[in-house]
A and B are shown apart, each in its own frame.
Chain A
C-alpha cells in the first residue's frame, strides 16, 4: 500500500444534465472525499471538463479511474499525479485595509503577484492565481490584517507540452480502465 496523498484527476464528460451528479455520487458512495472540483465547458461542443482533487493511495487512484470509466457519460479520465502538469487555482480574498494599512497590503500583493481588484474605505479585494500552497501562504500573510472573506475556485489542471488529455496517450498499464481490445 502506498501512502495516501492529494491527486488531481482530469475527467472529460458528456455535457448532459445529471452528469455532475453521477460523478459526485460515485465519490460519495465509494467513500472518497472530494478536496476540490472545478467544472466547465471545453472547446469541443458537448464536452465538459472536470478537474477533481481527491485524497487516495495508488490502488485507490486506480479504482477511482476504473470506477469513473464505468460511468456511461465519462469519456476520458487522467490521473495527472505522476505526470508533468500545471495546476492553477484562483482565489478572491477580501481583507481589512484602511488608509494606514493599505500600502503594506498592496506590497504583499506585489510579492505574491496578486492583483487588487476592488478598494473600499475599510477593505480591499485581492485576486490571486497559483497552486493551492501559494494561495494558502498568501492568506496566512494577510491574516493579521483581518481576512473577511475567501473564495477559491478549486484547481484546474492541464498536462504540459503538446500532449493533450483529450487524446488517448496514456500508457495502458497505468490505466486499468483502458485495457480494451484497441
Chain B
C-alpha cells in the first residue's frame, strides 16, 4: 500500500543523521480547529492530560483516515508530547490504523466461538467480496464480545449476526448505499437469551 501523497509513510528509513523529533512547534504545525478542540476537550477530562492519547488518536484517525505521520504530528502538537511517544501508542492498539485503510471498518470476528460456527469461511468470503474496493477495510478480529450472534462482524461499530455467507453481498451493498447494515440482524434489536429475563 502506498502512503498518502506528501507523507513519509511508516516504512521510510529513519533519518540517522538527526536526533528524534521533538515536540512539534505550534507555530509551524497547522491543526484543523475542530480536531484541536476535540483533543483539548478530552485532555480537560483527566487529572493528567496525557490520558487523552487514545481518544485523541481516535479523533485524528477519523479526520485523516489513519494514524498518518501528519495525524500523529498534529496530536503531538496539541498534547505537547513527542510524535514518538504517540507512535508507540498507535502501534499497540488494533483499532488504530498505522497504514492507510478503507473508510469503512469491517471487523470479522474469527476467535474461537465464532470460528466454531463458520467464521473463517465468512471472513474469506467478506474479503473476496470486498475485493479491491478501497472503501472497505476488512479485517479478521479477535473476540468482539458477541458470541451469542456468532459468526458476526462489526461494521463501522455496528454489530451484526449471526451471519451467513449469503449475507455478505447485501451487507456490503448496505454500506455502499449508506443504509442501516442488515437491519434485521443487528445486535441492538435482540432480546436476552435468558427465558426468565422478561419477567
B and A form one assembly:
no
